[in-house]
Amino acid sequence: MSSRHLTASAILFLFLSFPGVMLAESSRLGDYPSPQAMYDEIFALEAKSAGLVKVARYGTSVQGRPLLALHVGRSDGKRRPEALVAGNIHGNEYLGNRLAMSVARRLVEGDGGDPWITSLLDKIDFWIIPCINPDGYAKTWELQGNGESPVMRKNAHGVDLNRNFPKYGPVWLPIGWGGSNKSGNQYYHGPSVYSEPETQAIRDFTKQHNFFAAIDFHSWGGQFIPPKCPDHECVIAYKEMARAYRSKQPHVLYRRIQFRWLDQYTGEMEDMLYYEYGALAVCIELSTSKNNKPVYKTTHRQFWQSNPQNISYWIENDRDAALSAIEKALEITQKRPKKAVGCRP
């Protein structure tokens, strides 16, 4: 990969140079980290990994923040199938960031001690993107989770990044969350496809790799959501992935939300990864509204509607589940992406 590696001191300099960043002395966001702490732990994991982790910068946000990816894999020169784990494409969905980082940490800490984790690293190269939308993350922190959801959710241009990707066919059933051309709407898709530097960076990053599977963490629906499938083979593949995911969930089992004839194209990242590059990509809606309601009713902060206080509970519920789904995807795809046939942009 052509992305250059960064040092912790460099990232600190870059981050502190940004205007409008508030590093609160005391946070009302519980155990969720500040933007600087979120960056720091990425480099801390690289430092403790004994060469298993390499941090790369794959792009730059609207406000100039680095877009970072962690490569977690063997450095033996052997080429392995690649999988992507991402989170926080919506700035206020901090739980997705926590899950993406927990997957990276699980791989590092389990290698050599946990036979299953060791076997995964023997056969798969993992790329982890903990925060696709660092500007939205920083805005949420600046407001201490007390802003309007659309403001915290979107990037610094006010675009919902997960509606800024191409649509691969007609949208015949209007749905509220399917993207909007109104700039004030929380699902505003932007002036054009790939208009945002963050989505351009994901597109270009994906072109440089050969992902057979991708997990994208969101919150708070408690659901396993594939892209719109063009054929029965696709439906079966995601059904098997969902079963593998559920097999590793100790607390809350997620429903697979998939209706082949009713699903719509919404300009989400999963559609792009599947239709353009053949990756079995899935959106995981973490947590549930039921679990988040008590603290939200107490604080009235929009942040707590999307993020539970008990982070470790959901890490335990979803971290290994995501790895299990990726392992199943490796089996389904026979270690290589399979591009969808039929619907094209």
77: three-class secondary structure by DSSP: coil
- Cα(218)–Cα(96) distance, integer angstroms: 5
Residue 28 lies in a domain: no
pLDDT tens profile 102-137: 999 999 999 999 999 999 999 999 999 999 999 999
- Cα(341)–Cα(107) distance, integer angstroms: 34
147: three-class secondary structure by DSSP: coil
Tell me which residue range forms the domain holding 230. 8-17+34-333
Statement: residue 3 has pLDDT above 80: no
Residue 343 lies in a domain: no
298, burial (CB in 10 Å: exposed 0-12, middle 13-18, buried 19+): exposed
* pLDDT above 70: percentage of residues in the chain: 84
Statement: residue 339 has pLDDT above 90: no
pLDDT at 175: 64
pLDDT at 244: 98
Mean pLDDT of 70-94: 96
CB of 245 closer than 8 Å to CB of 332: no
- Cα(138)–Cα(118) distance, integer angstroms: 35
Q: What is the pTM of this model?
A: 0.89
pLDDT tens profile 5-18: 454 444 444 444 44
CATH number, domain of 214, equals: 3.40.630.10
Residue 340 lies in a domain: no
Residue 212 lies in a domain: yes
Residue 341 lies in a domain: no
Mean pLDDT of 247-268: 84
Residue 342 lies in a domain: no
- Cα(219)–Cα(307) distance, integer angstroms: 7
Give the total number of structural domains in the chain.
Answer: 1
Residue 230 lies in a domain: yes
Residue 60 lies in a domain: yes
